Structure 1
Amino acid sequence: MNIGLTGGIACGKSTVADIFVRLGAVLVDADQIAREVVLPGRPALRQIAERFGQAVLKEDGTLNRKRLGELIFGNVDARKDLEAIIHPPIRAEITERIAYWSANGEGKTIVFDIPLLFESKYEGLLPDTVVVYIPRELQLKRLMARDGINESEAEQRLLAQMPIEEKRKLAAHVIDNSGSMQETESQVINYLQKKGLL
């Protein structure tokens, strides 16, 4: 069974993905796919260098993420250009993996960890969606602690995403990660048991 997993920044999505894997699921990580599509030799990396200049490449030919981040931070047009380059190959790869596991994953639990699941409209391909949720105030506190940033910077990052309350409403199922690790894990176990996957 294919499951779409998402959540907001600092909500603990990676923690929940790890719990699914520990309980026997196969993980397909959209962030890993995003790194793969910009490897040397891939068309997206060439297009990024053409659009943003050779300065976004390291000496070994790999992407200089820090330099690219500096160029697109606060520049809406540059960010849109980057998204136009990388989103199509990411989507093609994720769609291909969904099709593969739909055909070959009988009896397996496949978790697709996709940060922008709803924003990128994957819910049509992955109708069983799970959102890792914590209240916004806690999200803000965890983000500040995790990244060592102030409240204003954390607010900026939260405002750049779909609000967690909105994601919660769109999800087929919600894992509330505001309690202890044991409470979170028991929710994942309950979800898998209800689906007949554990």
Structure 2
Amino acid sequence: MKVIGITGGVGAGKSSVLALLKEMCSCDIIQADLVARNIYQSGNIGFKKVVDIFGEQIVGENGEINRPLLADIIFKNPNKRIVLNSIIHPLVKQEIINQINNHKIAGDVDYCFVEAALLIEDHYDIFMDEIWYIYVSEDERRKRLAASRGYSDEKISDIFKSQLSDAEFRKHADKVIDNGADIEKTRAQLEIMLGI
């Protein structure tokens, strides 16, 4: 089984590439955001740690962490964001490693694709066989984010500033997938990479 990290800037279409991969090969797709969401849920260790640090006021009426409230707190205080990340990121990484190991033991898939916003920054490459960078030009990504998410140009610029540059992504990537054209061109690139 091969473990491949999928990365790229916001608006590059990582989700559409993952959907293609799901239909093209025997694989599991692990998305760090979904793993993190699970870790925050009551009954999980992340829930207890976050509530211990941020207090009971972040727990909503449904007994779960009020994520918009927590997001507001860490947006206003960068130090609290650092604290939250120091709790959640190691738990997410460990859970992803556990899922990969379960697949290795079961031998049930040919590939495990891991998509994480901080794949490079958090050194996921240590347990990856390869890193694939999903590339789309900045202009195209701006158009997509404005159309699909309604983001202002200023908000898009702020997000871009917080992410790695194209050169930095390329420096760490084993393969680059150009996802700027139509989906069939992306599929053709994936077929070559998967050897099908």
Secondary structure at the counterpart of residue 116 of structure 1: coil
2:153 to 126, 148, 151: 151
Superimposed CA distance per residue, residues 74-99 of structure 1 (whole angstroms, 9 cap, x where no aligned partner): 42101101101111111111122233
Contact map agreement 1:130 1:174 (CA 8 A) in 2: yes
1:90 to 89, 92, 98: 92
Secondary structure at the counterpart of residue 131 of structure 1: strand
Superimposed CA distance per residue, residues 21-74 of structure 1 (whole angstroms, 9 cap, x where no aligned partner): 011322122221111111101121122122223232111211211111111114
139-148 or 72-81, larger mean C-alpha shift: 139-148
Q: Aligned-pair distance for 1:102?
A: 3.4
Q: Aligned-pair distance for 1:104?
A: 3.5
1:54 equivalent in alignment to 2:56: yes
Aligned length: 194
Query: Unaligned regions of 5+ residues in structure 2, if any?
Result: none
Contact map agreement 1:136 1:164 (CA 8 A) in 2: no
Query: Unaligned regions of 5+ residues in structure 1, if any?
Result: none
Paired residues for 1:1-198 under 5 Å = 1-24=2-25, 25-105=27-107, 108-193=110-195, 198=196
Contact map agreement 1:6 1:130 (CA 8 A) in 2: yes
Q: Aligned-pair distance for 1:131?
A: 1.0
Secondary structure at the counterpart of residue 125 of structure 2: coil
2:154 partner amino acid: S
Q: Give the TM-score taking structure 2 as reference length.
A: 0.91
Work out the CA distance in 2 between the residues paired with 1:124 and 1:29. Answer: 17
90-99 or 5-14, larger mean C-alpha shift: 90-99
Work out the CA distance in 2 between the residues paired with 1:165 and 1:74. Answer: 30
Contact map agreement 1:5 1:113 (CA 8 A) in 2: yes
Q: Which has the higher helix share?
A: 2
Percent pairwise identity: 29
Contact map agreement 1:130 1:171 (CA 8 A) in 2: yes
Q: Give the TM-score taking structure 1 as reference length.
A: 0.90
Distance 1:28 1:143, change over 3 A: same
Q: Aligned-pair distance for 1:111?
A: 1.4
| Alignment root-mean-square deviation, CA | 1.7
Work out the CA distance in 2 between the residues paired with 1:58 and 1:107. Answer: 38
